[in-house]
């Protein structure tokens, strides 16, 4: 079974800064199968990135995804106040989620 | 506008049963593969299971912790997804989300319904 490990567990940054979130798979996965979700407190998750690098409808271009094989990255170029949330990666094939990265205001 | 509205959550005793429903609108439900994802309050996301569209066979897949106890079904005439949960355990306590799949990702999510398994 594929395991997805996200790092860091918590990331403390200020608005305007750049955020880099990592998702590492225990074995190589297809980029087509890698997605990122954002979840704010009290809300359902929402799709941000699919196919490792494609933005979902309505997602601002400050969000970008990259990576291949076992290493994937979600980058937020300039943090806005509404970006502070928990982020999950997911690998479709085994339907597994990473444990999440909490992005908090410094 | 896409809407997924879950219902049926509540408090149930260990060993009991509960059926969740998810009413879908705003997209082609008949063609969609649908999944349930759950989340223990304060914890991460866990995929529960999936049902394919009838055109793709209508088959189901389940996560190991729920296999044999949970059953996913769909009524395309009502645009409704179901999750029948039997032999419930305390560790099944979670918010259950209904999701609609697009290609290889979960494109649409409902707001979730809380299931509490406790004596």
* Residue A88 to residue A47: CA distance in whole angstroms: 10
The DSSP string of B59-104 is -EEE-TTTTTTEEEEEETTTTEEEEEE-S--GGG-EEEEEEEEETT
> Is it the case that residue A93 has pLDDT exceeding 90?
no
Q: Does B46 touch chain A (CB under 8 A)?
A: yes
Running DSSP on this structure, what letter comes out for residue A56?
Answer: P
> Is it the case that residue A98 has pLDDT exceeding 90?
yes
On the CB side of A63, how many CA atoms lie within 13 Å of its CA? 22
Contact call for residues A22 and B93 (beta carbons, < 8 A)? no
In the structure encoding, which two tokens stand for residue B61, read together? 């897949």
Contact call for residues B51 and B60 (beta carbons, < 8 A)? yes
pLDDT at B1: 95
Q: Give mean pLDDT, residues B21-25.
A: 98
Q: Give mean pLDDT, residues A60-67.
A: 98
pLDDT at A73: 98
pLDDT at B103: 85
pLDDT at A31: 95
| A45 interaction partners in chain B (CB closer than 8 Å) | 37, 45, 97, 106, 109
CA distance A68 to chain B (A): 16
Summarize pLDDT for B64-102 with one digit per residue, the tens.
999 999 999 999 999 999 999 999 999 999 999 999 998
Summarize pLDDT for A26-51 with one digit per residue, the tens.
999 999 999 999 999 999 999 999 99
Running DSSP on this structure, what letter comes out for residue B26?
Answer: S
Q: Does B27 touch chain A (CB under 8 A)?
A: no
pLDDT band, residue B53 (cuts 50/70/90): very high
- Residue A83 — φ and ψ, nearest 5°? -85, -10
In the structure encoding, which two tokens stand for residue B7, read together? 């219902």
Pairing of strands B34-39, A101-105: unpaired
Q: Give mean pLDDT, residues A52-75.
A: 97
Q: Does B45 touch chain A (CB under 8 A)?
A: yes
> Is it the case that residue A88 has pLDDT exceeding 90?
yes
């Amino acid at each position: 079974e594929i395991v997805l490990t996200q790092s860091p567990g918590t990331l403390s940054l200020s608005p305007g800064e750049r955020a880099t979130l990592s998702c590492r798979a225990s074995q190589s996965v297809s980029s087509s199968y890698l997605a990122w979700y954002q979840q704010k407190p009290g809300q359902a998750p929402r799709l941000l990135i699919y196919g490792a690098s494609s933005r979902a409808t309505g997602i601002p271009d400050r969000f970008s995804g990259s990576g291949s094989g076992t290493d994937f990255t979600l980058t937020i170029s300039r943090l806005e106040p509404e970006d502070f949330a928990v982020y999950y990666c997911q690998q479709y094939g085994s339907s597994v989620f990473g444990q999440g990265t909490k992005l908090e205001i410094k | 506008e896409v809407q997924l509205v879950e219902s049926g959550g509540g408090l149930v005793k260990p060993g009991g049963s509960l059926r969740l429903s998810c009413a879908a609108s705003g997209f082609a439900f008949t063609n969609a593969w649908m999944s349930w994802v759950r989340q223990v309050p304060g914890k991460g996301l866990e995929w529960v299971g999936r049902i394919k569209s009838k055109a793709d066979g209508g088959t189901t897949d389940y996560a190991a912790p729920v296999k044999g106890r949970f059953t996913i079904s769909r009524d395309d005439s009502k645009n409704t997804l179901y999750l029948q949960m039997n032999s419930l355990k305390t560790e099944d306590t979670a918010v259950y989300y209904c999701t609609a799949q697009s290609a290889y990702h979960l494109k649409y999510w409902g707001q979730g319904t809380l299931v509490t398994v406790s004596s």
